Amino acid sequence: MIEISDLNVHYGRVRALTSVSLSVDEGKIFAVLGANGAGKTTLLRSILGLTSAKGAIRFEGSDITSRPVAERVRRGIALVPEGRKLFPDFTVAENLRIGAFNRKDPDGVRRDIDEVCEAFPVLKERYQQEARTLSGGEGQMLAIGRALLSRPKLLLLDEPSVGLMPIFVSEIFKMIASVARNKGITVLLVEQNTKKALAVADRAAVLELGRIAFEGGASSIAADPRVKEAYLGG
């Protein structure tokens, strides 16, 4: 459903991505792993059209390489950036509704809000509370919930587990697995929590200095001795 070919991104003289090619089938979870600065965020930003990338990006069979960001969002691509970017003075309810701003089916929006609150009950408890009062884990749940309210076909997640307590990490990975398996949403998951990411992913790639160093089925990546040594603590 998304196919990236020979993607190259420069920031001035810095090469952030070099000849990156990968594809993800509908409803599958693809993990993008790698150290700080490997180019993971740049890859997600490029898919949404936030960098001046060279190469080709096809989404559901259409070439979107030079399409504007707003069109990519309309076509069903949603990004949950690192650091969540919530509206702190708005309530949980308002943040969720903002995710649905493009939709014209109020009944469907209500149903989806109920569903998100069922998956993350803490959001129901905090429904009328301002987002600024949420903990890191709760904020991450809200950020994912808000992205789901746009009914995305492709969900781009940038390090959803970073800085969270283990209990939240497990809940968030459970939700990621469930949106792919139960809703058929395709997920591109950038993570430094290599073990957890490989446990939910179907396929994975490891980026090193902007290039794909390894790519394959998640279990074969997890079993690769080079990946084990460098990213799974030996």
Buried-exposed string 98-125: b where 16+ CB fall within 10 A, e elsewhere = ebbeeeeeeeebeebbeebbebbebbee
Contact status: 16 vs ligand ATP (CB under 6 A): yes
In the complex, the smallest distance separating the C-beta of residue 218 from ligand ATP, rounded to whole angstroms, is: 19
Judged by CB under 6 A, does residue 11 bind ligand ATP?
Answer: yes
Task: Report the site for ligand ATP in 18-77 (rule: CB under 6 A).
Answer: 34, 36-42
Q: What is the 3-state secondary structure (H, E, C) of 172-208?
A: HHHHHHHHHHHHCCEEEEEECCHHHHHHHCCEEEEEE
* Smallest separation, CB 42 to ligand ATP (Å): 3
Q: Between 136-148 and 92-99, two packed helices, what is the crossing angle to 10 degrees?
A: 30
- CB closer to ligand ATP, 14 vs 165: 14
The CB-of-210 to ligand ATP minimum distance in angstroms stands at 7
Q: Tell me: does residue 145 bind ligand ATP (CB under 6 A).
A: no
The CA distance from 202 to 217, in Å, is 6
CB of 45 to ligand ATP, least distance (A): 7
Of 144 and 190, the one with the shorter C-beta distance to ligand ATP is 190
> How far apart are CB 173 and ligand ATP at their closest, in Å?
18
Q: Tokens 């997920």 appear where?
A: 187
14 binds ligand ATP (CB under 6 A): yes
Q: Which is nearer to ligand ATP, 11 or 52 (CB)?
A: 11
Query: Strand, coil or helix: what is 162?
Result: coil
Q: With respect to ligand ATP, which residue has the nearer C-beta, 20 or 109?
A: 20
The Cα 121–Cα 99 span in angstroms is 18
Closest CA to 137 of 103, 117, 108, 161: 161
Residues engaged in binding ligand ATP (CB under 6 A):
11, 14, 16, 34, 36-42
